[in-house]
Structure 1
């Protein structure tokens, strides 16, 4: 297992950036899902809430396919 102390400063920066992007995507998607009426979502909102929890892919799939345009 890799420990935080074993990472170079550049690796730490990349990791922190990736975590920040993941959290931002998920919070944005969950916020949109919570505010959007069920009639404007493709499928059950509970299903999309779970999909959004999947790293990077979930929020992107939600924004691409979960919302009716």
Structure 2
């Protein structure tokens, strides 16, 4: 069950990273792509800290 959650988080993070313009990502996209592959920590770190939030 935990592996399903891990793969799901990684998939969501990779899709978001691929669709998001580079100027809306904190840091370099290739580094985030590698970091997302690291267990639960990578996708959670990207989703919480790697994206620049859009202001309304």
The question of a shared fold, defined as TM-score above 0.5 by the shorter chain, is answered with yes
Q: Which runs of 4+ in 1 moved over 2 A?
A: none
From the CA coordinates, give the structure whose radius of gyration is larger: 1
User: What count of residue pairs does the alignment treat as equivalent?
Assistant: 53
Q: 1:24 aligns with which of 8, 17, 22?
A: 8
Q: CA RMSD in A?
A: 0.4
Q: Which has the higher contact order (CA 8 A, sep 6+)?
A: 2
The equivalent residue for 1:36 is: 20
Unpaired stretches in structure 1, ≥5 consecutive residues? 1-16
Q: Which has the higher helix share?
A: 1
* TM-score w.r.t. length of structure 1: 0.76
Q: Please give the alpha-carbon distance, in whole angstroms, between the structure 2 residues aligned to 1:23 and 1:53.
A: 9
